[in-house]
Structure 1
Amino acid sequence: MSSYPPDGPPQTTLRQRLADLRGPAVPPRPLDARALAALAANPGCGRRALLDGAGVDKTALAAALGSPAAFGQSQFAIVRGNSFEARVKGDGGAELLRLTHARLGGGAEPPGPDSRVPDLTAAGPEGRAARTALALREATAAGTWTLLDHPMLALEVAGTPAYLEPDAVVVHPDGRWTVVEIKSFPMIDGAADAAKVGAAARQAAVYVLALEQTAGKLEGAEVGHQVLLVCPKDFSNLPAAALVDVRRERAVTRRQLERLTRVEELADGLPQGLCFDPARPAAELTEAVSAVSAAYAPECLAACELAFHCRERARDAGEPAALGRSVRSELGGLATVEAALAAAAGAETGPGTGPDSDPTAAALREAARLRAEALASAAARPPYQAPETPECPC
């Protein structure tokens, strides 16, 4: 239980606690939409929630633990993506606004010379978020096409604010707000890779949630549930646009983020002096990371920098989740792989797990019996001999 009053800890105290966790001299690593989408996919992992909330650089931490993960884009892909985005937003965003009107214009007049691209520069993420909120308010009141280039949005996650930066947000004359995602993967014959589109949809859903918090404070503002995905057309550098409905991703992400344990609750349960500074010895970091509960699953390998470290620990502990979430759910009360193997062999693994009391153990024994029969049948068959190939008469 937290020792703070019901209205929560003083913000300065929480910030100092999080700074101590990542290291006093280590700057915080800001959360982005990709990290939030991955966090929402595994809300039961307190380890990731705490490290992300404290701003710990998980890439550097994984390298210091001896289990580095190969994440990130190549330099060539980054340069290509930046070049394509600059082309899409060139000439005051005229092409991007044209694509938005073509896909989502409805009965509105097409963007003209009166379209605006406000300046969103300000000091720090808090200042940029406030400047973005003001620009959204002004654009909604003005009733003209407005392009916000790299706005800053604020979203509270597990009790701490996260500042997110979408590629663009377009304000329609009728007050609708549309999130724009610009990606460098191609759209061939009007369709893009389904896995990449799905990842972009989950990322855009986080931006939609952040925009909805701002729109709720403004009269006449509405956040569209369709985002505009802009990609290179076929194998050229010309932009093509498609609409992606993110209502399902938004609902899932919102529900999962609401399930996250608040960061201060996770921090209160840790020993004093715990620190995740990558400059500390590997043995000390291993002990610190082990103090925070994790919920590893094979899906983490594609989304978390600490996945290889957590996988090794899960295997050492014999956790069934290392084989997949479906395996863990099928095993029920059998908490380890060793317990499952013992149950398959007919041994009692604890109170109430006798031969006739646990249906999971009975199913494992039946599976083991069928496997043994199949192996015995295969061993009894004579070895396969390939037919002789007749010699060629020519």
Structure 2
Amino acid sequence: MNAFPDSASSATSRQGAPPKQATALRHRLAELRGPDTRPQPLDARRLAALAANPGCDRRALLDGAGVDKAALAGAIGAPSGFGQSQFAFVRGNAFEARVKADGGAELVRLVRSRLLPDAPEPIGGEVRRPDLAAPGTEGRVARTALALREAVGIRAWTLLDHPMLALDVAGTPAFLEPDAVVVDPGGGISVVEIKSFPMIDGFAEPAKVGAAARQAAVYVLALEAVAARLDPAPPVAHTVLLVCPRDFSNVPTAAAVDVRKQRSVTRRQLARLTRVEDIAAALPEGVCFAVDQDPGALRAAVAAVPASYAPECLAACELAFHCRERAGAGGEVTALGRGVRGELGGLATVGAVLSAARGASGDPADPAVAALRRAAALRAEALGGAAC
């Protein structure tokens, strides 16, 4: 899969931006990655994580430039071990192949039984599976759009296996590849997310289901952009099908997952992202994230981009260990969690919090400052006058 920065020129031109500006952005992002460094693709999992922390310019820029964050974390001495094991990858591929076997008849049966019980069965069990192959990422995006148009017009059960979708993120196109998209005889479009974690007695681990829902919400947004260009625009379901192994077997089962909340949050958060070119323009001259340079220079390059660390980053970003260390060293209250950060208002560091609690700074009319001073007084009373 080609990474989105290398296609920034044509995709941005489609949105009306001057070609010279798009070409300059593409070259700038290539300079940030380093010479002859292959860009990393921005997939739905990364987009969902990015939308969960839209205030992090560091992640937005590194993902926008296609920087390999895992290699970067190792080069600056903070490896995370983040990612999927080879065993899990192979197991997931084997399970997906089983789900889509027999021409996709079993997958369509699951879609019909869980999402569309009133829809007619495929005639003779036949399911259309159009060929989505095309040269290049943008060719696959165009072929997917054409296949969707044809499927909606024919109004028969159609399975799009690994279609390619495009979504604009902070002025840069991201190319996404859902596991499957099904078009029903009524012309509706549904996303299918296939995962290898088990569904035991009809229930799966909530954290994993939540992550799958956030990922599927990104696909729904991308499909809505495609559907909006069709006439008439077909409906894109906000309930997706999550397919998992049943219990401890390799037999597929499925559940309907409503992603309306995740879709709304993701759309709002992606809209808040600062444009990648604006972040890049604010960097000092010569900043580069090539992992073969001196570690000190590389750490300085990373430090040049503002970050917004939160404990949730540990489950979603390869640079989380590095950012946690720097946040702790700087006394940033974000290291304690977004909830704590929100309660403290404008007090951004532990030093500022302690100073406000002791009465050395802060506006007494500020609810956060008043609460801190009340807590400090209660603590001193309980400890016999010991200050915090």
Gaps of 5+ in 1: 1-5, 378-394
Aligned-pair CA distance for 1:376:
4.6
Structure 2 counterpart of 1:333, from 330, 338, 346: 346
2:26 matched residue in structure 1 = 15
Alignment of 1:52 onto 2:52: no
Structure 2 counterpart of 1:90, from 101, 107, 117: 101
Structure index of larger Rg: 1
CA distance in 2, matches of 1:105, 1:327: 43
Aligned-pair CA distance for 1:36:
0.5
- Structure 1 vs Structure 2: percent identity of aligned residues? 68
CA distance in 2, matches of 1:217, 1:277: 39
1:222 matched residue in structure 2 = 235
Alignment of 1:153 onto 2:165: yes
1:346 matched residue in structure 2 = 359
User: 3-state SS of the aligned residue for 1:148?
Assistant: strand
CA distance in 2, matches of 1:227, 1:332: 37
1:374 matched residue in structure 2 = 382
Aligned-pair CA distance for 1:344:
2.2
User: 3-state SS of the aligned residue for 1:61?
Assistant: helix
Structure 1 counterpart of 2:136, from 100, 116, 124: 124
Q: What is the aligned residue count?
A: 368
User: 3-state SS of the aligned residue for 2:138?
Assistant: helix
Structure 1 counterpart of 2:337, from 293, 299, 324: 324
TM-score calculated relative to the size of structure 1: 0.89
1:246 matched residue in structure 2 = 259
Aligned pairs for 1:67-106 (under 5 A) are 67-106=78-117
Aligned pairs for 1:283-302 (under 5 A) are 283-302=296-315
Are the aligned partners of 2:57 and 2:308 in contact in 1 as well (CA < 8 Å)?
yes
Are the aligned partners of 1:189 and 1:234 in contact in 2 as well (CA < 8 Å)?
yes
CA distance 1:87–1:358, change in 2 (3 Å): closer
Structure 2 counterpart of 1:65, from 48, 72, 76: 76
Match of 2:380, as an amino acid? A
RMSD: 1.9
Aligned pairs for 1:131-146 (under 5 A) are 131-146=143-158
Alignment of 1:196 onto 2:204: no
2:198 matched residue in structure 1 = 186
Aligned-pair CA distance for 1:7:
4.5
Gaps of 5+ in 2: 1-15
Aligned-pair CA distance for 1:300:
1.1
Match of 2:127, as an amino acid? S
CA distance in 2, matches of 1:297, 1:104: 36
Aligned pairs for 1:246-325 (under 5 A) are 246-325=259-338
Are the aligned partners of 2:104 and 2:127 in contact in 1 as well (CA < 8 Å)?
no
CA distance 1:63–1:143, change in 2 (3 Å): same
Q: Does 291-300 or 105-114 show the bigger shift?
A: 105-114
CA distance 1:176–1:336, change in 2 (3 Å): same
CA distance in 1, matches of 2:270, 2:368: 32
Are the aligned partners of 1:101 and 1:111 in contact in 2 as well (CA < 8 Å)?
no
CA distance 1:235–1:359, change in 2 (3 Å): closer
CA distance 1:329–1:104, change in 2 (3 Å): closer
**CA deviation vs aligned residue, 1:222-258 (integer Å, no higher than 9, x gap):** 2111101111112211111111111111011000001
TM-score calculated relative to the size of structure 2: 0.90
